[in-house]
A = this chain, B = another copy of it.
Amino acid sequence: MPATGLRLAMIGLGTVGTGVAKLLTQRPEHLRSLGVGPLELKTVVVRDPAKSRGIDLGGARLTTDFDSLLADRDIDAVIEVMGGIEPARHRIAALLRAGKHVVTANKAVLAEHGRELFEIAHQSDRSILFEASVAGGIPILAALAETLCVNRIERISGIVNGTCNYILTAMHERGLAYGDALRQAQQLGFAEADPTLDVNGSDAAQKLAILARLAFQSKVDWRSISRAGIDKLDSMDLRFARELGYVIKLLAEGEVVGGKLSLQVTPKLVHQNHPLAQIRGEYNAIQVHGDAVGDLLFSGKGAGEMPTASSVVAGVIDLATGRGQQTFRALRLWETEPAGPHFDPTSQAKSRFYLRFTISDRPGTLARIASILGEHGISIASVIQHETPENKPEQPVPLIIMTHEASDGPVRLSLAEADRLEIARAPSVCLPVAAHA
């Protein structure tokens, strides 16, 4: 059976779309060497065909008419790189029903409407390929869905939002405040004009929902994932973390605890020797623990024109070889009750915690905080309390406590109690500490 190639259309010609067009048109010899037949980009649907884009589309037709794709029998598969929920959702559904495979980089539409779209694909005997939707160029979804699939995945822990990682790296390494680091990330193109969904953890939660479906075979509503962002972080806590030998990273984590799946997006203290502590700037990384394979780490660029385009075209090539259809069929992503552990939004793995109290430095202060923790069964691992400046005896001082492993509930109760003390000068801060693999 010789490879017959694939006739393609694309919706969207922004950053990623431009990268995809470059890969499909500017390396014909390399593509020929892949043994998959010609990959022909025939049509690109854009909002404004007159806009100058400085890229040679190799003869592809530019059009605003999305509907023309549906009836075009010379299109086998469509690349969706427009992003967002609508009209992407309805367009993907219509394309599948019209008999086109879909390759997408759109994590938002998959996190929100994935099962419904997978069901439509299944009914239409077509496939959705989505390697590019999580962690840009890192081939993590193929690894989970294919090469590692005999493993029972016990834990994943990832840095999957490059904007947050860029900001946190700038705060750590250059001592910037959050707002300054964000503005710099925006100037350099590592953060959007409206960065809300990145910095509040929503983007990471959407990606975690997709990862969890493949890693754990669990059904996850991304909105139910407990999440905190980096937008409330005080640079003081990054300094204290460093003093203790840690960096702060926004982690998207999943773990099977007592037969249930626990998922969480939150900034955590990561020990400086932990592999994820080394991931700097806009890079992403995902650590996977499989019961057979042990710990694996994948790292690389999590976004950007060419890294993401590399994963989009991987989907196209998977369709051209026929692999993509086989994998999609085996994954059964349309099932309403997948085989994996039940996702319990209230389940939390135990953890160590970093606590910061802001208090008046009077005799007996440390003892009072320590006894509240002790009453809740929380054991103290280490303490930092610097002296109050002599000329400002009434200035509130930070008291940093690292706990041994504890459950989330008692920690929250202790903090609420400590915050009601008359010596409390500001609400306490609590960050979990990442387990060391």
Q: Which residues of A are at the interface with B, using a C-beta cutoff of 8 A?
A: 1, 3, 19, 23, 27, 29-36, 131, 137-139, 142-143, 146-152, 217, 275, 278, 290-301, 304, 306-307, 309-311, 313-314, 317-318, 321-323, 326-327, 329-332, 338-340
Contact = CB atoms under 8 A, between A and B. Distances in A.
A275 B299 contact: yes
5 contacts: A30-B150, A33-B217, A35-B332, A296-B298, A297-B297
Nearest to A300: B296
A136 to B, nearest CB: 8
B314 A147 contact: yes
Contacts of A35: 329-332
A17 to B, nearest CB: 14
A9 to B, nearest CB: 18
B330 A36 contact: yes
Given A27-B150, A292-B310, A296-B298, 12 more contacts: A27-B152, A30-B150, A30-B152, A35-B329, A131-B147, A146-B314, A150-B310, A150-B314, A292-B313, A294-B304, A298-B298, A326-B326
A147 B311 contact: yes
Contacts of A139: 139, 142-143, 146-148, 296
Contact of A322 (B30, B138, B322): B322
B339 A330 contact: no
Contact of A327 (B131, B150, B321, B331): B321
A306 B326 contact: no
A294 B311 CA distance: 12
A306 to B, nearest CB: 4
Number of copies of this protein chain within its complex: 2
Contacts of A339: 29-30, 32-33
Contacts of A290: 137, 310
Contacts of A275: 278, 299
User: Which 9 residue pairs of A and B lie closest in terms of their CB atoms, listed nearest first?
Assistant: A139-B147, A33-B339, A137-B293, A35-B330, A296-B300, A292-B310, A293-B310, A292-B306, A150-B313
Contacts of A138: 296
A299 B301 contact: no
A238 to B, nearest CB: 19
Contacts of A307: 292-294
Contacts of A310: 148, 150-151, 290, 292-293
Nearest to A291: B306
A147 B152 contact: no
Most-contacted residue by chain B among A34, A149, A307 (CB, 10 A): A149
A149 B314 contact: yes
B330 A326 contact: no
Nearest to A31: B150
Given A33-B339, A150-B31, A317-B149, A296 B137 contact: yes
A115 to B, nearest CB: 16
Nearest to A321: B326
A300 B306 contact: no
Contact of A323 (B292, B304, B309, B327): B327
A19 B340 CA distance: 23
A147 B134 CA distance: 14
A300 B301 contact: no
Contacts of A314: 146-150
Contacts of A151: 310
Contacts of A149: 34, 314, 317
Contacts of A317: 146, 149-150
A147 B141 CA distance: 10
A301 B297 CA distance: 10
Given A34-B330, A310-B150, A327-B321, A292 B143 contact: no
Contacts of A329: 1, 3, 35, 321
Contacts of A292: 19, 23, 137, 306-307, 309-310, 313
